[in-house]
Structure 1
Amino acid sequence: MNKNFVRKAHRWLGLIFSISILMSAGSGVIHNIMTRTQPPPPAASPSGEGLNVNQITMSIADATARLPDAAQGVAAVNVRSIGGQPWYQVYVNGSRSAQYVSAVDGRVDAAQDEVYAGEIAKAFLGGAEVTKTDYLTAFNNEYINIFRILPVYRFDLEDEHHTRVYVSTTTGSVTRHTDDGRQFEARIFTNFHKFGFIPNKDVRDLVLTTLTFATCIVALLGIVLFFMTRPKKRAVD
């Protein structure tokens, strides 16, 4: 192998692909900063202000019988405290959305899902008033796939930081808590570490894979060049 060719290839490929190394190093710095400035994900904890079981007058079987599509099977039933009253949160087979039946009088009310989400958000933010601004059934640039849980409601707090929380009524918890400052750091990390500025995931994965592979080639060329250019031992007379 020609030594000059290896040296030039190493130099120019290293120069061309150094940008990806710089971005990776930068994302590592940002990640360390984020671990100091941003709290860990909210811990899942029981929601509601307490459940008065003495208010429950209807059995689960009677409650689910009020749902026409429950005949195809019930996947899960939770008891939730909403508005100070117990409600059955029912998941029917084949559906990702919950249905709600009052455990007190048997009323069916789909609107309780949003009410329940609002109570979770309000309790998490210390009782502050919040406004529902979105309902996500797919991930977006802010609520990305590392948060895993869908669907979620987004609620905003009218403060100087533009605080917002994402709420899952399935888990009964806040799945993400962020604001403009935290999101600014997260956006830098995503752009540096994952090339988030490329909107198409397939193209983004191809670019990341190509640059990572090219960086490996540069490193291998450096190793080869080291052994090709190392001083030769003098022959002992």
Structure 2
Amino acid sequence: MSALPQTRPRAATGPSLAARAKRWLYLLHRWAGITLCLFFTMWFISGVVMMYVGYPKLTPAERLGHLAPLDPAGVTVTPAQALAAAGLEDGAALSLSASRAGQAVYLAGGGRRAAPKAVDAASGALLPVADERVAAATASAWFGGAYPLRYAGAVAEDVYTHSRALDQHRPLHRVDVADPEHTRLYISSATGAVVLDATRAERAWNYVGAWIHWLYPFRGNALDRWWHDIVVWLSVAGVTLALTGTVVGLMRWRFSRPYASGSRSPYRENMMRWHHLSGLLFAVVTITWIFSGLMSMNPWKLFASGAAPLAQAAYEGPPAPAATLAAPAALIAALPAAPRELSWTRAAGQSLVQARMAAGAPLLLSAREARPAALDPAVLRAAAATLLPDARLAEVQTLERYDFYYYARDEHAMLGHVEKPLPAWRLVYDNPEASWVYLDPATGQLISRQDRANRASRWLFAFLHSWDWTGLLARRPLWDALLIFLSLGGAALSLTGVVIGWRRLGKKLRH
């Protein structure tokens, strides 16, 4: 009897690799969206608020508008005496204004990390740190003594003062003023000057605006050291979620023929259907905004430039001996009206004084002769060539109007406090980093610097995130309408995702 042929048992077949990948794609998008869509919704809505109310800041116009004009009779101390009282050498930073308790003071020295020293312009005494009494007097003078006020204590950092630019002034005195806008003033303990103001409306709107948009609940507490990483990795997760949602949405859309229902979307339940449709309509803008928000954090130092620092000392030239500088009374007499502030500067080998009124461009004076001064363009250009010793000044472009890289924003915007005067010079250098330096030819002061990496950030952050395109910004309210429409579309996409996700989570928990 012949043996029966042996047969091998058929191996059990499971889902294909493509099917498993598709399932994991769906699961990733479904469950990650439960939490991340909450952040998306918050970012879209708070972004609309930030279009009109920014994080509190003190702009130059606000500061100058509240300072009293300098009275030459109350300024008897010379710049040389002020520098000596502060223990500083010739050429140190120096300014004069009635910024402390309504009295004229010199602010000498200081920098990014160190606060300037305050010297009384009438007595020449080096002033101590500001206390509660000084803070209250400064706040009263800020409004000309017109309103009652309440001292609200000193704080190292609070909801409205996370800016690192305020570090040198901490702790900050808070004074609440009973003016029509219910302004809160923050006053430097180092100088006694107002460094920040925030109206009640600004403070309230910031809880649904910049404070929540920038995830500032993670600042000023135990999580502060991880704030940057939290924002970066939430943004990375957000981009991933938006990309997976876009892929899923395209896979579920019938391009060739509709489903049996007659629709090209398979979803009949309203919330699922709206999420699918809004996802296809607003996927690109959602991905763009989350990605550009990530770029705002300069993740992994992507936009760091290896260019050499500017040789500012060579450009400015040696300082004039302080003993040769004109007295403030002579400088004020050379002006058409009493200024709000005098600042001693140098440019192209000249010692100068910038006089600021309540409004308008600064007036330039010779620091030694106390007369109106003007900078020779040829001399200024020759000095500008020394700013980058290892590079050649290839071109000087005169900007009579704003362009894509040099432009001003509204005061409430993130960089709205940075003055961008016109005309301006764009100095183009031939170094490997393709450096540009912006310079004010009227005062000789450096405005900003851009390297190739900074310009990449301009495209990937400001352009994509805030739509800072000068052609569109000049056509408001078109800019407003477009951004609000896209933000509401993104919010609808995110809110429907929240509802769908939490419904599904609820079903899982019940079962």
In the alignment, is residue 19 of structure 1 matched against residue 294 of structure 2?
Answer: no
In the alignment, is residue 214 of structure 1 matched against residue 486 of structure 2?
Answer: no
Report the more deviating stretch, 25-34 or 148-157: 25-34
Q: Distance in 2 between matches of 1:117 and 1:95?
A: 25
Please give the secondary structure, in 2, of the residue aligned with 1:38: coil
In the alignment, is residue 194 of structure 1 matched against residue 462 of structure 2?
Answer: no
In the alignment, is residue 151 of structure 1 matched against residue 421 of structure 2?
Answer: yes
1:107–1:170 distance in 2 versus 1, CA, 3 Å: closer
Unpaired runs of at least 5, structure 1:
none
Shift of 1:23: 0.8
Residues 119-138 of structure 1: pairs in structure 2 closer than 5 A: 119=383, 121-126=384-389, 130=393, 131-135=395-399
Q: What is aligned with 1:167? A: 439
Q: What is aligned with 1:59? A: 327
Q: Distance in 2 between matches of 1:114 and 1:34?
A: 42
Q: Which protein is bigger by CA-based radius of gyration?
A: 2
Shift of 1:168: 5.0
Q: Distance in 1 between matches of 2:354 and 2:330?
A: 13
Q: Distance in 1 between matches of 2:339 and 2:428?
A: 36
Q: Distance in 2 between matches of 1:62 and 1:232?
A: 80
Shift of 1:82: 4.2
Shift of 1:12: 0.8
In the alignment, is residue 37 of structure 1 matched against residue 299 of structure 2?
Answer: no
Which of 97, 100, 103 is residue 362 of structure 2 equivalent to?
97
Please give the secondary structure, in 1, of the residue aligned with 2:420: coil
Q: What is aligned with 1:109? A: 373
Query: Which amino acid in 1 is paired with 2:455?
Result: Q
Which structure has more relative contact order (CA 8 Å, sep 6+)? It is 1
**1:170-218 Cα distance to aligned partner (Å, 9 max, x none):** 9975332124554244223333222345833332232222222222222
Shift of 1:124: 3.8
Query: Which amino acid in 2 is paired with 1:37?
Result: F
1:76–1:115 distance in 2 versus 1, CA, 3 Å: farther
Q: Is the 8 A contact 1:100 1:112 kept in 2?
A: no
Q: Distance in 2 between matches of 1:58 and 1:197?
A: 45
Please give the secondary structure, in 2, of the residue aligned with 1:187: helix
The size of the alignment, in residue pairs, is 225
Shift of 1:76: 2.4
Scaled by the length of structure 2, the TM-score of the pair is 0.36
1:95–1:199 distance in 2 versus 1, CA, 3 Å: closer
1:228–1:135 distance in 2 versus 1, CA, 3 Å: closer
Unpaired runs of at least 5, structure 2:
1-266, 410-414
Query: Which amino acid in 1 is paired with 2:285?
Result: S
Please give the secondary structure, in 1, of the residue aligned with 2:493: helix
Please give the secondary structure, in 2, of the residue aligned with 1:100: strand
In the alignment, is residue 142 of structure 1 matched against residue 405 of structure 2?
Answer: yes
Q: Is the 8 A contact 1:117 1:167 kept in 2?
A: no
Q: Distance in 1 between matches of 2:375 and 2:316?
A: 17
Shift of 1:157: 2.9
1:56–1:194 distance in 2 versus 1, CA, 3 Å: same
Please give the secondary structure, in 1, of the residue aligned with 2:362: coil
Q: What is aligned with 2:111? A: none
Please give the secondary structure, in 2, of the residue aligned with 1:73: coil
Query: Which amino acid in 2 is paired with 1:216?
Result: A
Q: Is the 8 A contact 2:427 2:439 kept in 1?
A: no
1:79–1:118 distance in 2 versus 1, CA, 3 Å: farther
1:122–1:55 distance in 2 versus 1, CA, 3 Å: farther
Please give the secondary structure, in 1, of the residue aligned with 2:316: coil
Q: Is the 8 A contact 2:439 2:446 kept in 1?
A: yes
**1:45-82 Cα distance to aligned partner (Å, 9 max, x none):** 887333232672643333443x3xx2422222233334
Q: Distance in 2 between matches of 1:169 and 1:22?
A: 41
1:85–1:24 distance in 2 versus 1, CA, 3 Å: closer
1:167–1:62 distance in 2 versus 1, CA, 3 Å: same
Q: What is aligned with 2:353? A: 88
1:51–1:211 distance in 2 versus 1, CA, 3 Å: same
1:98–1:233 distance in 2 versus 1, CA, 3 Å: closer
Q: Is the 8 A contact 2:374 2:442 kept in 1?
A: no
Shift of 1:11: 0.9
**1:134-167 Cα distance to aligned partner (Å, 9 max, x none):** 256x654212432712316323234165421113
